[in-house]
Amino acid sequence: MKTMKMAVLGLGLGFAGLVQAAGFGVVDLEKVVESSTYLKQQNASLEQSVKPQTTKLEQITKDIEALKQKAQAQGANVQQINAQYQAKVNEFQTIQQGVQTKVQTTIQNTNATFETRVKQAAEQLRQEAGLDFVLNKNSALAYDAKNDLTAKMIQKVNAIK
């Protein structure tokens, strides 16, 4: 009987540790992303860096359309127009592939840097508030709004240089 009481007492103490809620905070990562000055800067920089190529692609598209119209005209040198058309299509594809590669590389690098910043800010918040966890708001089924650290997280992420 005494062994049974000890086992129940030990089991009860084990559950007591599970019942005690760990300190946690939640962060709305979508709002952090939307409010990130870093991501806004990177996006603007990327747009500026590919602007000359996108402008060139627009011009090539117009040139291709003009060649199509010229080819439909009576008395046009079809072989010459076809060669010009193919050269323009090849140029378009080359520029487009270059832009696509640049965009993908930039996005990958930006995401890696941003993820590091978010994790760093979350760890700072966790330590400052003495929390055990900082969770993505979308991962929590229910939580008390007082545990929402989104505004603080946005400040910390934007402060990282």
Distances (CA, A) of 15 to 19, 21, 142: 6, 12, 22
Assigned architecture for domain 25-159: 2-Layer Sandwich (3.30)
Tokens of 49: 């860096």
Q: CA distances (Å), 109 to each of 5, 12, 35, 39, 84, in order?
A: 59, 50, 19, 11, 38
Q: For 116-141, b where at least 16 C-beta lie within 10 A, e where not — what string?
A: ebbeebbebbbeeeebeebbebeeee
pTM: 0.74
pLDDT in tens, the chain (161 residues): 444 443 433 444 343 333 345 689 999 999 999 999 999 999 999 999 999 999 999 999 999 998 888 877 766 687 888 899 999 999 999 999 999 999 999 999 999 999 999 999 999 999 999 999 999 999 888 988 999 999 999 999 999 98
Write out the chain in H/E/C secondary structure. Answer: CHHHHHHHHHHHHHHHHHHCCCCEEEECHHHHHHCCHHHHHHHHHHHHHHHHHHHHHHHHHHHHHHHHHHHHCCCCCHHHHHHHHHHHHHHHHHHHHHHHHHHHHHHHHHHHHHHHHHHHHHHHHHHHHCCCEEEEHHHCCCCCHHHECHHHHHHHHHHCC
The domain segmentation of the chain, as residue ranges, is 25-159
